[in-house]
Amino acid sequence: PAVGVPAYAGVPLRDADGADVRFVDARTASDRCWTEVGASDGTVVVSTTLDAVAAAAGELVSAGRKPDTPLTVTVAGTTTRQRTWSATLGTIAQTLKQAKVLPSPDGGRPVIAVVGERSAAARRDQLSWFESKPLFGWKVLVPRTKEQSAALSEQLRSYGAVPHEVPTIAVEPPRTPQQMERAVKGLVTGRYEWIAFTSVNAVKAVREKFEEYGLDARAFAGIKVAAVGEQTARALIAFGVKPDLVPSGEQSAAGLLEDWPPYDPVFDPIDRVFLPRADIATETLVAGLIELGWEVDDVTAYRTVRASPPPAETREAIKGGGFDAVLFTSSSTVRNLVGIAGKPHNVTVIACIGPATAKTAEEHGLRVDVMAPEPSVAKLAEALADFGAKRRDAALESGDPVTRPSERRPGARRRRSTT
């Protein structure tokens, strides 16, 4: 910790000149140790506790270090709970008091203090890479199926957030599988010209049915494959199928129809499209394909059902403002989260993947702060990170401390961010 924590706090311990660095454990250091360290003008790394930092600073001043020597104090180093304060040996006690860190029942928490010019605030501002992440320390609620939330959670972690996955949707087979079985057999017997996938779950449902019958991606030979968006396309590629059609514009049913070719009896030997979907109807796509001259087998490939409620502690955190943000990736995640856990607190930043999801959130009394510029979970996470970065920059410019949304009281309405 004595080496790793300063690196995470933006305080380099070494330079090209190999300047002297000394390490001291304040809890066991003798008077002789303090005297030797105080006589040096090099960097000193002190392992101590939060409520003993001022005493350690006093020992160094008594041993000969100047009171205006820069000092950084880091608590919970290398974790997303990390916090660092910059001061001097003579002002650290007042700095921690003004930050309302002390007095505290957590005063016994271990900290790493770095003393010397390397800890100068201006230098640290340039090198601090960890705490300056746009969502550093944010607790972000990810209400999706567990399988779908992994990639999103990993992206949020790269922005410094602490994702908390709460499954709101469970995916189950259709109640009557016969229609799906006939359609999959139709893929093999040449019944379809096209198959259109509107979700990752649809890809998974067809893939599972293939495996049940001992089939693989070769069964798609001679069939054109469409995907509603990049995420669905990636699921197909993982299955060994490169889609022939992915919307060039909006990644939605409407965007898919914009690029879908009309049926041509001269060039299209078969006029039928297989549309495996959830038990929620897809009238827009079906009607659009029929208008383009295609026959559509609109087949329920899977059902989405409301998941079980999360633990009481999580429900209380949702309703009580314990989360800094929540990401909604569909209208069903909005309805299901509110249904199983309650409405998120007013201080929680609400981020939605698109206009339809945002409308559902507003219908449930939620204020939408962030909307993805395009319907993609990756773009949604990016939009939230941009929101967090702007919020951080605004605090720094005004001289206010950088806080998380859950650390403030409800205030004025925030404007929605779409960048």
DSSP string, 219-249: GGTT-EEEESSHHHHHHHHHHT---SB--SS
- Mean pLDDT for the stretch of residues 163-181: 90
Judge whether 197 lies within some domain. yes
Looking at the fold, whether 186 and 242 belong to one and the same domain comes out as: yes
What pLDDT digit, counting tens, does each position of 366-379 carry? 999 999 998 888 99
Looking at residue 231, its pLDDT comes to 83
Looking at per-residue confidence, does 189 or 399 come out higher?
Answer: 189
* Alpha carbon distance 48, 54 (integer Å): 10
Count up the domains in the chain and report the number. Answer: 3
* Alpha carbon distance 24, 45 (integer Å): 6
Judge whether 318 lies within some domain. yes
Which residue, of 273, 305, 337, is where some domain finishes? 305
Looking at the fold, whether 319 and 267 belong to one and the same domain comes out as: no
Neighbours of 107 (CB within 10 A): 15
Band (pLDDT 50/70/90 cuts) for residue 411 is very low
pLDDT at position 410 over 60:
no
Looking at residue 197, its pLDDT comes to 96
Looking at the fold, whether 272 and 341 belong to one and the same domain comes out as: no
CATH of the domain at 236: 3.40.50.10090
Helix, strand or coil for residue 147? helix
* Alpha carbon distance 321, 408 (integer Å): 9
- Mean pLDDT for the stretch of residues 350-361: 94
Band (pLDDT 50/70/90 cuts) for residue 400 is confident
pLDDT at position 298 over 50:
yes
Helix, strand or coil for residue 70? strand
- Mean pLDDT for the stretch of residues 72-84: 91
φ, ψ at 309 (rounded to 5°): -60, 145
Looking at residue 2, its pLDDT comes to 82
Which residue, of 256, 288, 305, is where some domain finishes? 305
Looking at residue 145, its pLDDT comes to 64
pLDDT at position 201 over 60:
yes
pTM to 2 decimal places:
0.71
Looking at the fold, whether 72 and 88 belong to one and the same domain comes out as: yes
| Residues 6+ positions from 72 with CB-CB distance below 8 Å | 6, 9, 11, 84, 85, 86, 87, 113, 114, 119, 124
Looking at the fold, whether 238 and 295 belong to one and the same domain comes out as: yes
Looking at the fold, whether 114 and 262 belong to one and the same domain comes out as: no
Helix, strand or coil for residue 33? helix
- Comparing 27-31, 150-154, 322-326, 415-419, the range with the smallest average pLDDT is 415-419
Output b/e per residue, 369-388; b: 16+ Cβ within 10 A: bbbbebbbbebbbbbbbbbb
* Alpha carbon distance 310, 341 (integer Å): 7
Looking at residue 414, its pLDDT comes to 45
* Alpha carbon distance 125, 118 (integer Å): 11
What pLDDT digit, counting tens, does each position of 111-141 carry? 999 998 877 766 777 788 888 999 999 999 9
pLDDT at position 256 over 80:
yes
Q: Is 31 exposed, middle or buried (0-12, 13-18, 19+ CB in 10 A)?
A: exposed
- Comparing 150-154, 232-236, 296-300, 411-415, the range with the smallest average pLDDT is 411-415
pLDDT at position 16 over 60:
no
Looking at the fold, whether 353 and 278 belong to one and the same domain comes out as: no
Looking at the fold, whether 32 and 123 belong to one and the same domain comes out as: yes
What pLDDT digit, counting tens, does each position of 46-69 carry? 999 999 999 999 999 999 999 999
Looking at residue 415, its pLDDT comes to 44
Looking at residue 196, its pLDDT comes to 97
- Mean pLDDT for the stretch of residues 143-147: 69
Contact (CB, 8 A) for 142 and 149: yes
Looking at residue 251, its pLDDT comes to 77
Residue 22: give the domain boundaries: 4-127
